[in-house]
Amino acid sequence: MMTDKEVLLLRRKLDLLLRTGKLLMESAADTNRIERNMKRVAAFMGIPEEKLHIDIRWTMIMVNVSDERNSFSKFQKCEKHGINMTTISQVSKLSWRAIEQDYSLDKYEEELEKIVRQPRNYTPYIVAIGAGFACGGFCKLFGGDWIAFLLTSICTFIGFRVRARCVEAGLNAYMGIALAAFICTCLAYASSFLGISGTPYLPLLACALFIVPGVPLINFVDDMIDNHLLVGITRAANTVMMVAAMTFGIAFALRLLVMNDVSIDHKFSELSMVPHDPYYVYAIAAAISAVGFSMIFNIQRRLLWVVALGGIIAVCIRNFVNFELGYGPVIGSFMGSFVVSLIAVKAVHWFHVPNHVLTIPSVIPMIPGVLMYRSLLGFINLHGVIGEVTNAFSNGINSALIILCISLGVAVPNIFARRYIAKDRQRYLQEELEKRRQRGKFIEW
């Protein structure tokens, strides 16, 4: 039987282990990464993997340690889900550093608390400006002029701050999303009457796209492929709710403001999907959009240029495969995200960050906003004309396929690469643990 002192020590270890998992879950890490990091921290604490049982849910993480005579379980609630790529990177580094530098439990807890208390890399208003430029970049990618870029950025800035205020006030998250989308769309429609842009309606397409849940969607695909089905389905449900809230806000605004303006539906249906600007213009717009989303995701400043380059590569490859080779937007989007993810498999060793830190902001600029809005307006303005439903469904299915292929393009190379390097990491981990034993620093459970 374990003594009271040993029981208290084990409970403290489990508490630190759960706090580590909670921090990763609430920062939008994929389930496989959470599990890997928790097992590595458990190895640092001297808890044998064969005696450790981890169950990860969207709102709860459960850990059990048991042998022939004892069994201890502990639970940790996860409540405040957000996106913080810096935290994910720092926790991963801490788990290795604790082993390599012979941390005590007190030292590990101190370092973990530093990560928890660390302020975000950008102030709220800088993030809002980044979000504005991100959606402005979308507007330019959709074919808008630079005045439309500026108008979109202003509308998005206001909508982003509205959503932030809703969060601070404790309003339901989905209501906050719907309200932000509604206000963005209203402001974008009002800007079309200024007469200063040659593409006055394109801000309507781009102003609310900062809400698109790219990280939860890609994590959902990751989890499903990795057989973490329950968490993956929960992430998918959360993604659907976010998209539904955004759609409701946009649809309500459009129905309220433009129900008698049939020219808008006509304008959107006429929007060309073929690039009419030089490639360098789309490269600039993609870089701006990728950097803007990096700020929303709280990526380190030193990586902004890397993500900008990733956005350029993704969009230019998408356009080349789509228009120059003629394979269409679905294959083009998949190839753009696939190539970026493939490059990131190697780049993570250069910049010492998780794969998703580099890939997700880089592929977000490929979101098919034009098709999404064509589908939405098609359903809003149904008049019983033959072919209306078919056209709306066609645009909706194509946009869904593009988003799915973007997610798969990011996830597939990362998953296969992870399986190849898992043995090397496990071997390195065992070597480091053996060195700790030889130094007499190994913590027994």
| String of DSSP letters for 256-280 | HHSTT-HHHHHHHHH---S--S-HH
- State which H helix or E strand residue 73 sits in: strand 71-77
Is the pLDDT at 438 greater than 70? The verdict is: no
Is the pLDDT at 382 greater than 80? The verdict is: no
Q: Which residues partner with 69 through β-bridges?
A: none
Look at residues 165, 44, 204 and name the one whose alpha carbon lies nearest to residue 111: 44
Q: What pLDDT, in 10s, does the model give residues 192-214?
A: 888 898 888 888 888 888 888 88
Whether 198 and 147 have beta carbons less than 8 Å apart is answered as yes
Is the pLDDT at 126 greater than 90? The verdict is: yes
Is the pLDDT at 377 greater than 80? The verdict is: no
- Collapse the DSSP code of 208 into the 3-class scheme (helix H, G, I; strand E, B; otherwise coil) and give the result: coil
Is the pLDDT at 279 greater than 60? The verdict is: yes
Is the pLDDT at 342 greater than 60? The verdict is: yes
Predicted confidence at residue 264, as pLDDT, reads: 59
What average pLDDT does this structure show over 121-132? 94
Tell me the pLDDT band of 290, cut-offs 50, 70 and 90: very high
Predicted confidence at residue 393, as pLDDT, reads: 79
Whether 340 and 362 have beta carbons less than 8 Å apart is answered as yes
Burial class (CB in 10 A: 0-12, 13-18, 19+), 350: exposed
Name the pairing type of β-strands 60-66 and 71-77.
Answer: antiparallel
Q: Among 10-19, 85-94, 180-189, 390-399, where is mean pLDDT lowest?
A: 390-399
How far is C-alpha 247 from the chain's CA centre?
Answer: 19
Q: Supply the mean pLDDT for the chain.
A: 85
Q: Which residues partner with 62 through β-bridges?
A: 55, 75
What average pLDDT does this structure show over 97-110? 88
DSSP state of 51: G
What average pLDDT does this structure show over 128-150? 92
Q: What pLDDT, in 10s, does the model give residues 49-73?
A: 888 899 999 999 999 998 777 788 8
Is the pLDDT at 162 greater than 80? The verdict is: yes
Predicted confidence at residue 355, as pLDDT, reads: 84
Locate all alpha helices (DSSP H) within 271-387, ordered by sequence.
279-296, 304-319, 328-351, 355-363, 369-380
Whether 330 and 337 have beta carbons less than 8 Å apart is answered as no
What average pLDDT does this structure show over 346-359? 86
DSSP state of 213: -
Percent of the chain with pLDDT over 70: 86
Tell me the pLDDT band of 286, cut-offs 50, 70 and 90: very high
Q: Among 4-18, 178-192, 414-428, where is mean pLDDT lowest?
A: 414-428
* HSE value, Cβ hemisphere, 13 Å, CA-based, for 251: 15
Most confident region among 48-57, 145-154, 221-230 by mean pLDDT: 145-154
Q: Work out the number of other CB atoms within 10 angstroms of the CB of residue 126.
A: 12
Predicted confidence at residue 303, as pLDDT, reads: 93
Give the separation between CA 424 and CA 422, rounded to whole angstroms. 5
Is the pLDDT at 271 greater than 80? The verdict is: no
Predicted confidence at residue 101, as pLDDT, reads: 85
Is the pLDDT at 273 greater than 80? The verdict is: no
Is the pLDDT at 383 greater than 90? The verdict is: no
Percent of the chain with pLDDT over 90: 39
